[in-house]
Amino acid sequence: MRVKGSSRAVAVVVTAGVMVLAACSSSSKASSSASGSPAASPTTASTSGPPIKVLAVTQPLTATDATNGLKMAEAYINANGGVKGRPLSIILCSDNNDPNTAATCVRDGISQGAVAEIDRMSAYGATMDPLEQAAGMVTLGGGMFSQADFAASNMFPLNAGLFNSIGSAPLAVKLLGAKTLGAPHLNTPAAAALPALLKTVCATIGCSVVGSVAIATTAADITPQVAAEVQAKPDVVINGLTVDAYVKLIKGMQQQGSSAKFEVSSGIMDASRVSQYLGASVQNIYVTSQDDYQSAGYQQFLAACKQFCPDPSNLTGHVIWAWEAALLFKTVAESATSIDAKGIAAAAAQVTNFTIGNIIPPVNFSTPSTAFGGKAPRLFNDTMWIYEFKDGQLLPLGGGTGVKTLG
């Protein structure tokens, strides 16, 4: 891959052979506090000097997966020389689905010496971003999960965040032949925006939205909503529900004879979870991902997770994204003139070619994004892949080629 820009630009390309796994390394001991206060993790013996600290703010629905990836990434990096020979220490903190707690996570992380945030998964950028900007701190990796994040100059995301569901629409049309899209969603203000956003996308790619069924977060019986979605006859259903509600919907619709295809985000289900929740013989399930599972980078991830993940059977997108974010920080930090918030921020803005064995397309942070005609300037990777679930495995569609979904 070619390095763009001036000689001062940082070319960040981590290939499958760059980091050799050390068999003798132990896994990280990082832990998350239930109260929202961060807890830093100890270091490994393969590094020396004071730890370089970063903050990672999790949120309850995906905390187990993200923590699995963050602990793996920390152990993996420290077993391979750390960051400039110093150990990496990831401070984990849960936002507990509360904006004030998210802000407390940031304040406490800064007070503990965090020089950056990694793997943004919290939706409370409105309270987090101003605090980080005041401290000169950037966020590396993860996605954007609030409107505030799109205007935040300190955001350097690797995936589409809240636009993952929207990006699933072009995949449904281009690779699944969909003309009508189902949009079941939770009865929350954020989730209720899904049908309208999908209609905007459909206006440009030749589809329509049907079955915009709202389901209460507390609903125990969703039989009426299942019947309404079946009656709408969508070609492909795009998820705006929790895992439990979506599993109920899929089972209910298939029991009622629906032939609809269902898109599932890799962030909530890998092949083993599809088998667990829906059965290994289930049909018409398609997993969408922002990672190329046929790439050398994905094989690198699998090898690292097998050795360092606390739960190596968990291969959901949140595990992968945490690992990618940590490697982004490592490479940015190793090019920085100083290991502090200011130095990391300056180096991040010079990145022109970040990838990990092509698991994602090369990312360029030195220029604004062109997604949505430039209306999403902090969105740098909107390429997605789709995989058909068949006999317990995920098989790539479209020749395994990623689709640029929002550009």
* Ordered domains of the chain (ranges, CATH): 13-160+296-367 (3.40.50.2300), 163-289+385-404 (3.40.50.2300)
Using the predicted structure, report yes or no on whether residue 12 has a pLDDT greater than 80.
no
Decide: 1 and 360 in contact? Cβ < 8 Å: no
CA separation for the pair 196, 119 (Å, rounded): 28
Handedness of CA 324, 72, 54, 341 (dihedral sign): negative
pLDDT band at 41 (very low <50, low <70, confident <90, very high): very low
The mean pLDDT value of the chain amounts to: 88
The per-residue pLDDT for 63 is: 95
Q: Is the pLDDT of residue 219 over 60?
A: yes
pLDDT digits (tens, 9 = 90+) for 316-363: 999 999 999 999 999 999 999 999 999 999 999 999 999 999 999 999
Whether the full predicted model's pTM is greater than 0.85, yes or no, is yes
pLDDT value for 133? 98
Max CA pair span of the chain:
63
3 state SS of 393: strand
User: Which run of H or of E encompasses 190?
Assistant: helix 189-192
**E strand or H helix at 111, and its extent?**
helix 99-111
Q: What is the pLDDT of residue 2?
A: 28
Residue 95 or 147, more confident: 95
Distance between CA atoms of 102 and 95, rounded to whole angstroms?
4
Query: 83 versus 15: which is more confidently predicted?
Result: 83
Could you report the per-residue pLDDT of 222-279, keeping only the tens digit for each?
999 999 999 999 999 999 998 999 999 999 999 999 999 999 999 999 999 999 999 9
- What confidence category does residue 407 fall into, taking pLDDT thresholds of 50, 70 and 90? low
